[in-house]
Chain A
Amino acid sequence: MTNRDLPPLIDYGLIPLLNLLAALAVSGVVFAIIGVPPWTALASMAEGAFGSGDGIGYTLYYATNFIFAGLAVALPARAGLFNIGGEGQAMLGGLAVALVCLGLPGWPWWAALPLVVAAALAGGAAWALVPALLQVRRGSHIVITTILFNFLASKLLTWMLVDVIKAPGDPSPETAGFAPSLALPGIEGSPLNLSLLLALVAAFLAWLLINRSVWGYELRAAGQSPEAARYAAIPAGTLAVLAVCLGGACAGLIGVNEAMGVEHRLVLSFTSGAGFVGIAVALMGRNHAFGVVLAALLFGALYQGGSELSFDYPQVTRDIVIVMDGLVILFCGALEQLWRRPVTALWRRR
């Protein structure tokens, strides 16, 4: 009975804000220790993330990936399953995108897009299907299997890019460039492209499915109480597989953003850990589609602000930025209850 004791504005607004401030405060201490004045560091990050058109562009570009990755965790989570395989599912989505794009030279992007999106969805979903089936049919824990599938995906991608679809004569493991006509329209000066709209549409559809459809209702019922779902003759197993596959499909769309939107080819480490950030995004967004969008924006800003910060201060290495991301995850995710008790107590005393 803890959650709804608070009005939504406090529950979904004030408490995440307090968590974020706590994370920033501790980050400030870290900055002070390595000799960067905390206040200017924060200002530099904010400036980097929101201070210029390019900065905003980068923030939104990162957020695009994080929305996909966040949905990849949030959708299965509503069915009670923890999908850690976003990274691998994204790789398969990327592979599918590359294969379609390489096969459609000369097509305009708008004609290819539906095919590319379908391929990305299918690639991600296919990679999620096996762990989902193993969980539902055999009880193999999905956390373990999806982690293992991340390794498999990474090996598969490496092999494909080194031995199979590598551009001839190119020393690096990547495909040949796609036809220029296939490049998604974007903003000059930043990697931001049309995929952001795709991400927002995906989030909206996820919301519609989960919160408004009968399927979503049954999915949530099965996720919250398997016993009650059985009682209500809800096919919980089928729905769980469906939810995990939909999550994988969302992760697959990261491939659209990276391959078709930014690099115009498939490069080896294109996912760059976005799949794992998705776990934090879903955690912070409370597995709600719109929450995921907001959390993805926050993490996008942290990423972009962080890289800007390491630019300004040589002692802020990539690792320090990761420490800061970790603190945000720690306070917003794992220590999410930290402020709930005192705030609830204050609210009651009112």
Chain B
Amino acid sequence: MAEAIRFDGISKRFGAVEANCAVGFAAAPGSIHGVVGENGAGKSTLMSILYGYYQPDEGRILLAGQPVRIDTSAQAIALGIGMVHQHFVLVDDFTVLENIVLGVEAGFRLGPALAAARRRLAELEASYGLAVDLDAVVGGLPVGLRQRVEILKALYRGAEILILDEPTAVLIPAETEQLFAILRRLKAEGKTIFLISHKLREIMALTDRVTIMHQGRVVADLATSATSEAELAELMVGRKLAALPAPSLARPGSVLLSASGFTVQDRAGIRRLDRIDLTLRGGEITGVAGVSGNGQSELLAALAGLIPVEGVLLWEGDEVPQRHRAQALRRLGLGHIPEDRQRMGLIAGFEAWETAILGYQREPAYARRHFLRIGAARDETRRLMAEYEVRPGAPRLRSAAFSGGNQQKLIAAREMARAPKVLLVGEPTRGVDIGAIELIHARLRALRDAGTAILLVSSELDEILALSDRILVMAGGRFTGELSRAEASERRIGLMMAGLAA
């Protein structure tokens, strides 16, 4: 087998943490190579080494059999390695063309450089089926197209090896299908593609080989045709996974929270929420499916009292006034696992115990006469960490030092531990590994069975389908459909998400 690229005994340590330990495997030209593993398994570190962000402590990278040294991302690009970031790095106010040319302009004068780029890009678009309007302003493009711009950017810089980090996390099913078609085409043209993903179904559908990492080591390197989703999952986690038991039937109780006529306008006067009515009952999980950016964030923020909203909010039948609504709701028993855990759910510079009391800092358990009960808060955090399997279980560690999955478990623990009457949940498992997903899902169900009203907003259809008793589909700031668990299927929801009746 010819090799496009080989990792040879790559090791990388960060302090006491062994992020990569003697990692070795190879990928063939014209293939799609999956890399899977839990958060913190070392996938990102390895790809960062390939892209020149980090230097390995030991080991080397061979391109087509030749050892290469990659000290900077500029060198990586020169060697034909391209990265499509999970969070796009595009200038919103620039056009597609300007974004692609940015940094590799062919000359001092912009006009001729852009004209030359336009010709080459037309060829690239035609040969890979990557249709994008070069003159569209990037800020106005849907996520799927922005991702194409990122791919075009890499190809324009001569990428032969493409790294895609969780490329489908932000896409609707139709966009995902289009992306896959593009990737297959790139593969047919002889490109080598590394696909990092948590979604094993996609790995199975798309890749030729798959490398499974666990705690910094390669635990298996298999031909995709010779394995299964279940085997991959077990290899990733390093143990047998307990299948989530089939959900018991929901026993919806009384209405706990209800919103009517909820309308939110942004600064430009566009309605982000358009006269939404919603009721949440105890003992029921209401799922909200939809492509990110269709008003779900505003819905969560408005229900939690974080942004001004038109309309009426009732808590167990009583109106909650607009003033100091967030405080009032918290006092009444509202829990909220926010969508954006990095910016809202935790404070990066705070120690874990400080993050674990965020929003509850005035509760008697944590404060006595205006002073923090630091010892009590740390003990309680240690207990929560044990119960929700947050690793490392160190209350004094800074919040930013935990992996994404562990940060999420800490936040979930904080919001669920007090058995809230109503729990708002936004993207609880985005970018979170299988083990943590399993735990969070099980806890959400347990909470539902104990009588909590749960609103689950997720762009993962699998998650919506697995947990929801009732599914609302959101598009353009409105609910475009409602389905019971029995009626729901990925196809029907997908159509409603795209704004089509089903």
Residue in A4, A5, A213 whose beta carbon sits within 8 Å of that of B371 in the complex: A213
Residue in A1, A227, A231 whose beta carbon sits within 8 Å of that of B398 in the complex: A1
Give the interface segment out of B22-30, B90-98, B355-363, B438-446.
B355-363
Q: Contact between A230 and B306 (Cβ–Cβ < 8 Å)?
A: yes
Set of chain A residues within 8 Å of B357, measured between Cβ atoms:
217
Could you list which residues of chain A lie within 8 angstroms of chain B, going by C-beta atoms?
Answer: 1, 3-5, 212-215, 217-218, 220-221, 224-225, 227-228, 230-233, 348
Q: What mask results when residues 287 to 318 of chain B are scored 1 for a CB within 8 Å of chain A, else 0?
A: 00000000000000000111000000000000
Residue in A213, A225, A233, A348 whose beta carbon sits within 8 Å of that of B326 in the complex: A233
User: Once bound together, how far apart are the Cα atoms of A3 and B398, in whole Å?
Assistant: 10
Residue in B306, B348, B359, B374 whose beta carbon sits within 8 Å of that of A225 in the complex: B348
Q: Contact between A1 and B344 (Cβ–Cβ < 8 Å)?
A: no
Q: Contact between A233 and B327 (Cβ–Cβ < 8 Å)?
A: yes
Q: Contact between A224 and B361 (Cβ–Cβ < 8 Å)?
A: no
Set of chain A residues within 8 Å of B324, measured between Cβ atoms:
233
Set of chain B residues within 8 Å of A215, measured between Cβ atoms:
370
Q: Contact between A228 and B343 (Cβ–Cβ < 8 Å)?
A: yes
Q: Contact between A224 and B370 (Cβ–Cβ < 8 Å)?
A: no
Known: A218-B361, A231-B336, A348-B15. 13 other contacts (CB 8 A): A4-B397, A5-B15, A213-B371, A213-B372, A214-B362, A215-B370, A225-B347, A227-B343, A230-B344, A231-B304, A231-B338, A232-B361, A233-B327
B337 to nearest A CB, angstroms?
Answer: 10
B297 to nearest A CB, angstroms?
Answer: 12
Known: A5-B15, A233-B327, A233-B359. A217 touches B372 (CB 8 A): yes
Judged by a CB distance under 8 angstroms, whether B21 is at the interface is no
Helix, strand, loop or mixed for chain A's interface?
A: helix
Q: Contact between B401 and A232 (Cβ–Cβ < 8 Å)?
A: no
Set of chain A residues within 8 Å of B338, measured between Cβ atoms:
231
Q: Contact between B371 and A231 (Cβ–Cβ < 8 Å)?
A: no
User: Once bound together, how far apart are the Cα atoms of A214 and B349, in whole Å?
Assistant: 17
User: Once bound together, how far apart are the Cα atoms of A164 and B397, in whole Å?
Assistant: 57
User: Once bound together, how far apart are the Cα atoms of A3 and B397, in whole Å?
Assistant: 12
User: Once bound together, how far apart are the Cα atoms of A232 and B324, in whole Å?
Assistant: 12
User: Once bound together, how far apart are the Cα atoms of A348 and B362, in whole Å?
Assistant: 39
Judged by a CB distance under 8 angstroms, whether B340 is at the interface is yes
Judged by a CB distance under 8 angstroms, whether B345 is at the interface is yes
Judged by a CB distance under 8 angstroms, whether B210 is at the interface is no
A87 to nearest B CB, angstroms?
Answer: 29
B401 to nearest A CB, angstroms?
Answer: 6
Q: Contact between B345 and A231 (Cβ–Cβ < 8 Å)?
A: yes
A34 to nearest B CB, angstroms?
Answer: 43
User: Once bound together, how far apart are the Cα atoms of A233 and B350, in whole Å?
Assistant: 17
Q: Contact between A232 and B358 (Cβ–Cβ < 8 Å)?
A: yes
Q: What mask results when residues 185 to 207 of chain B are scored 1 for a CB within 8 Å of chain A, else 0?
A: 00000000000000000000000
Set of chain A residues within 8 Å of B348, measured between Cβ atoms:
224-225
Residue in A3, A217, A231 whose beta carbon sits within 8 Å of that of B361 in the complex: A217
Residue of chain B at shortest CB distance from A347: B15
Known: A4-B401, A227-B344, A233-B327. A221 touches B358 (CB 8 A): yes
Known: A214-B361, A214-B367, A227-B344. A221 touches B336 (CB 8 A): no
B119 to nearest A CB, angstroms?
Answer: 44
Set of chain A residues within 8 Å of B336, measured between Cβ atoms:
231
User: Once bound together, how far apart are the Cα atoms of A291 and B359, in whole Å?
Assistant: 29
B15 to nearest A CB, angstroms?
Answer: 6
User: Once bound together, how far apart are the Cα atoms of A233 and B332, in whole Å?
Assistant: 13
Could you list which residues of chain B lie within 8 angstroms of chain A, going by C-beta atoms?
Answer: 14-15, 304-306, 324, 326-327, 329-330, 336, 338, 340, 343-350, 354, 357-359, 361-362, 367, 370-372, 374, 397-398, 400-401
Set of chain B residues within 8 Å of A348, measured between Cβ atoms:
14-15
User: Once bound together, how far apart are the Cα atoms of A214 and B370, in whole Å?
Assistant: 5
Set of chain B residues within 8 Å of A212, measured between Cβ atoms:
371-372, 374
Residue in B306, B349, B370, B400 whose beta carbon sits within 8 Å of that of A231 in the complex: B306
Residue in A213, A220, A227 whose beta carbon sits within 8 Å of that of B370 in the complex: A213
A61 to nearest B CB, angstroms?
Answer: 33
User: Once bound together, how far apart are the Cα atoms of A190 and B347, in whole Å?
Assistant: 47
Residue of chain A at shortest CB distance from B14: A348
Residue in B15, B327, B358 whose beta carbon sits within 8 Å of that of A228 in the complex: B358
Residue of chain A at shortest CB distance from B324: A233
Residue of chain A at shortest CB distance from B306: A230
User: Once bound together, how far apart are the Cα atoms of A214 and B358, in whole Å?
Assistant: 11
Set of chain B residues within 8 Å of A233, measured between Cβ atoms:
305, 324, 326-327, 329-330, 359
User: Once bound together, how far apart are the Cα atoms of A214 and B367, in whole Å?
Assistant: 7
Set of chain A residues within 8 Å of B354, measured between Cβ atoms:
217
User: Once bound together, how far apart are the Cα atoms of A348 and B55, in whole Å?
Assistant: 14
Known: A1-B398, A1-B401. A228 touches B372 (CB 8 A): no
Residue of chain B at shortest CB distance from A221: B347
B176 to nearest A CB, angstroms?
Answer: 29
Q: What are 13 of the A-B contact pairs (CB < 8 Å)? A: A1-B400, A1-B401, A212-B371, A213-B372, A214-B362, A215-B370, A217-B357, A221-B347, A225-B347, A228-B345, A231-B358, A232-B361, A233-B329
A25 to nearest B CB, angstroms?
Answer: 30
User: Once bound together, how far apart are the Cα atoms of A207 and B359, in whole Å?
Assistant: 22
User: Once bound together, how far apart are the Cα atoms of A232 and B350, in whole Å?
Assistant: 14
B374 to nearest A CB, angstroms?
Answer: 7
Residue of chain B at shortest CB distance from A227: B343
Residue of chain A at shortest CB distance from B16: A348
User: Once bound together, how far apart are the Cα atoms of A39 and B398, in whole Å?
Assistant: 43
Q: Contact between B401 and A228 (Cβ–Cβ < 8 Å)?
A: no
User: Once bound together, how far apart are the Cα atoms of A231 and B339, in whole Å?
Assistant: 11
A99 to nearest B CB, angstroms?
Answer: 32
Set of chain A residues within 8 Å of B358, measured between Cβ atoms:
221, 228, 231-232
B476 to nearest A CB, angstroms?
Answer: 25
A6 to nearest B CB, angstroms?
Answer: 10
Set of chain B residues within 8 Å of A3, measured between Cβ atoms:
398
User: Once bound together, how far apart are the Cα atoms of A139 and B304, in whole Å?
Assistant: 25
6 A-B pairs with the lowest CB-CB distances in the bound complex, closest first: A232-B359, A233-B326, A233-B327, A231-B344, A227-B343, A225-B347
Which of A1, A212, A215, A231 has most chain B Cβ within 10 Å?
A231
Set of chain A residues within 8 Å of B304, measured between Cβ atoms:
231
Residue of chain A at shortest CB distance from B362: A214
A134 to nearest B CB, angstroms?
Answer: 22
User: Once bound together, how far apart are the Cα atoms of A227 and B340, in whole Å?
Assistant: 10
User: Once bound together, how far apart are the Cα atoms of A215 and B369, in whole Å?
Assistant: 11
A249 to nearest B CB, angstroms?
Answer: 18
Known: A214-B361, A214-B371, A215-B370. A224 touches B401 (CB 8 A): no
Known: A217-B354, A233-B326. A228 touches B374 (CB 8 A): no
User: Once bound together, how far apart are the Cα atoms of A4 and B350, in whole Å?
Assistant: 11
Q: Contact between A231 and B359 (Cβ–Cβ < 8 Å)?
A: yes
A316 to nearest B CB, angstroms?
Answer: 42
User: Once bound together, how far apart are the Cα atoms of A224 and B371, in whole Å?
Assistant: 20
A257 to nearest B CB, angstroms?
Answer: 29
Set of chain A residues within 8 Å of B343, measured between Cβ atoms:
225, 227-228
Set of chain B residues within 8 Å of A213, measured between Cβ atoms:
370-372
Set of chain B residues within 8 Å of A221, measured between Cβ atoms:
347, 350, 358
Which of A3, A220, A225 has most chain B Cβ within 10 Å?
A225
A138 to nearest B CB, angstroms?
Answer: 17
User: Once bound together, how far apart are the Cα atoms of A213 and B370, in whole Å?
Assistant: 6
Residue of chain A at shortest CB distance from B377: A217
User: Once bound together, how far apart are the Cα atoms of A212 and B354, in whole Å?
Assistant: 12
